Structure 1
Amino acid sequence: MTESLSLFLSLSDAVIITDDRHHIVDVNPAYEAVTGFKRDTILGAKASIVKSQYTSRTTYVSMYDALERGESWSGIFINKKRNGKLWHSSISINPYRIDDQNYYVGIFRELEHLEEGVYIGEERRSSIQGVLLKVLAISCEIRDPAIEDHLLRVQRYTESLINRHNERQSLSRSEDYVQSVIHSSILHDIGKSGIPEGILYKPGPLTGYERLIVEMHPLIGVDILEKIDRELSDSFFKTRLSVARNIILHHHEKWDGSGYPSKLAGTDIPLEARIVSVVDVFDALTSRRPYKDTWTKEQAIAYLLQNRGIAFDPDVVDSFVSVHG
């Protein structure tokens, strides 16, 4: 190995140098200290000696694609130390060609001591949040054995609708926002856990008083959510819960301002609530309930179109029909 590459070994960050087959050519003392692997025992070994199951496959694909093109790459790895403990790090890998030989210099920086605590990759974080929100939603509505199917259908409809609407209207909404809406949509009716069963599952028409009680469920749902929010000391759920709050509180608002609980109108209604409003009604119409028969898909679509610009955002309805019509 040339002297020019050896200079990297004097850096205070952990450094690993490999050949073009990703075998270890050299490491510096910082790498030994962080990983627990001694230099003399790993020279010639594959760099993947520290690989764990927690770094996503897409991260490795991205890395290998860039390196094969002769480009530098940076990303996040969740690696494993010699003692089995996980090591979270940001890494930059730069290719060098010296004397007709390719080398890769990887510079690691630990993320263990960041203010937010242990680093969790975006893909894994999103997955964890989605699972926990699903469990929360189902546990709040455990009285109805059919509710899980309804919640999952609403989530699937939300996913197809928000992706289509984002593309169709050129909204440029971030992937994080889109995933927040998809995951949070499953929480839309958690407030119904506070409504008496005799009213919630009444087979006949509701009285005016009973209707008022049912219309309290968005406020009950937000109260449940805010109790959870007060217990959180970090930002792990903050974005998700902010979007979820809008969905829970406003998915019964109507485009013309005649909905509840706040009588918001038009674009004053958060987009995520306008999205879930359409898919919730569609699924309710096409599902059997104690107080109604099942509507056909065509009947439900016709209802959405009839109430386009009245109860529902007309552009959101058009996006839904373009997918499911």
Structure 2
Amino acid sequence: MSTLHELLMPYLKLADAVIITDINHVILAVNAPYEKITGYGESEITGKKASVLRTSYTPKETHDQMKRALSLGLSWSGVFTNRRRDSSIWHSSITITVIEIDEAFYYIGIFRELEKLKSGFYLPEERIGSIQSSMLKVLAISCEIRDPGIEQHLVRVRELTERLTHFHNERLQLNWPEELVNRITHASILHDIGKSGIPEGILYKPGPLAYYERQIVEMHTQIGVDIIDKIYAGLNDDLFHQELEMGKNIILYHHEKWDGSGYPHQLAGEDIPIEARIVSVVDVFDALTSIRPYKDKWSEERALAFITEQRGLHFDPELVDSFLALIQSHSN
């Protein structure tokens, strides 16, 4: 403690757990809350590398991001899964700030134990994403269980939606956060759950539909939204709130067309939510290139020609350009 610069001492009085290291990540001091959380006394942990608490549960990418930021003199925030002195696991949200004093650099790490937050538990982002994706897939498949090929279609739509969303974001430099891309991807699998309310005789009828049959099929968008509303009313859980809200937009609007001739509300252009415009392209492409009870499978070339023809009519022109470029890059 005597070797610690006096200007760093006030940090140890914070109510949160605090660790102070030198530029080489050697621990110089910790405060009482840190000792309580980790089980390490200051005298036994001082002089050790901060990695003494490290576990393999924290992704390597997290440590790499931290090192890159600190090497540039930038502050960094993230989540660590660490090990206490008694070998038990704890999760912490940490902010590390670089401090320069008398031409020497120090790292001030401020921890909060996530297990102590009001929610009562902590789920890493990766696990939340996995749970959301899996649960939405189960929901979508259970609503369309009558079609034995539906699972493959839903998975293909989800995977291609993810690729197209990433590609479109990068091509146009839209700066969409990864969280938004993930929400669109997860929610895309819900696009046709409303078809569970359409009679099979109409849904899988070979040949053209009569006018009244077409009207019934088009009701699947509103039926799907009603299903989501009922699920969310019963679930009342923030874990799925954003995905279900995004899902409602996709369900309701993925049959709208860029020129305003779609259904159910004849929206046009950018009035159609972007997530619905993305799924519209992907869904049509996968439907065309798949065998259905009422149609033969189209070749990829024929399906791409149709997508191209419908640029600015059925589909968002920029999304068509991204989709064609994505498929082209994948085939090279």
Q: TM-score, normalised by structure 1?
A: 0.85
Give, in angstroms, the shift of residue 183 of structure 1: 1.6
Give, in angstroms, the shift of residue 99 of structure 1: 9.8
Q: Counterpart of 1:236 in 2: which secondary structure?
A: helix
For 1:88, the equivalent position in structure 2 comes to 92
* Pair 1:105–1:88, CA change in 2 (3 A): closer
Amino acid at match of 1:88: S
CA distance in 1 between counterparts of 2:84 and 2:37 reads: 8
Q: Counterpart of 1:253 in 2: which secondary structure?
A: coil
For 1:253, the equivalent position in structure 2 comes to 256
Amino acid at match of 1:89: S
Alignment of 1:39-78 (within 5 A): 39-69=42-72, 71-78=74-81
Give, in angstroms, the shift of residue 299 of structure 1: 0.9
CA distance in 1 between counterparts of 2:261 and 2:242 reads: 28
Deviates more, 1:144-153 or 1:84-93: 84-93
CA distance in 2 between counterparts of 1:20 and 1:144 reads: 60
Give, in angstroms, the shift of residue 234 of structure 1: 4.5
When the two chains are superposed, the root-mean-square deviation of aligned CA atoms in Å is: 2.9
Asked if the contact 2:153–2:286 (Cα under 8 Å) also holds between the matched residues in 1, the reply is yes
CA distance in 1 between counterparts of 2:115 and 2:258 reads: 47
Matched, 1:134 2:137: yes
Asked if the contact 1:19–1:104 (Cα under 8 Å) also holds between the matched residues in 2, the reply is yes
Amino acid at match of 2:188: S
Deviates more, 1:146-155 or 1:164-173: 164-173
For 1:280, the equivalent position in structure 2 comes to 283
Matched, 1:2 2:28: no
Give, in angstroms, the shift of residue 170 of structure 1: 4.1
Aligned with 2:238 (options 229, 235, 240): 235
Give, in angstroms, the shift of residue 217 of structure 1: 1.5
Deviates more, 1:136-145 or 1:119-128: 119-128
Asked if the contact 1:116–1:234 (Cα under 8 Å) also holds between the matched residues in 2, the reply is no
Asked if the contact 2:4–2:28 (Cα under 8 Å) also holds between the matched residues in 1, the reply is no
Matched pairs, number:
324
Give, in angstroms, the shift of residue 129 of structure 1: 2.1
Asked if the contact 2:21–2:106 (Cα under 8 Å) also holds between the matched residues in 1, the reply is yes
Give, in angstroms, the shift of residue 108 of structure 1: 1.7
Q: Counterpart of 2:79 in 1: which secondary structure?
A: strand
Asked if the contact 1:78–1:89 (Cα under 8 Å) also holds between the matched residues in 2, the reply is no
CA distance in 2 between counterparts of 1:89 and 1:34 reads: 13
Matched, 1:177 2:180: yes
Q: Percent of pairs identical after alignment?
A: 56
* Pair 1:118–1:285, CA change in 2 (3 A): same
List runs of 5+ in structure 2 lacking aligned partners. Answer: none
Give, in angstroms, the shift of residue 276 of structure 1: 0.8
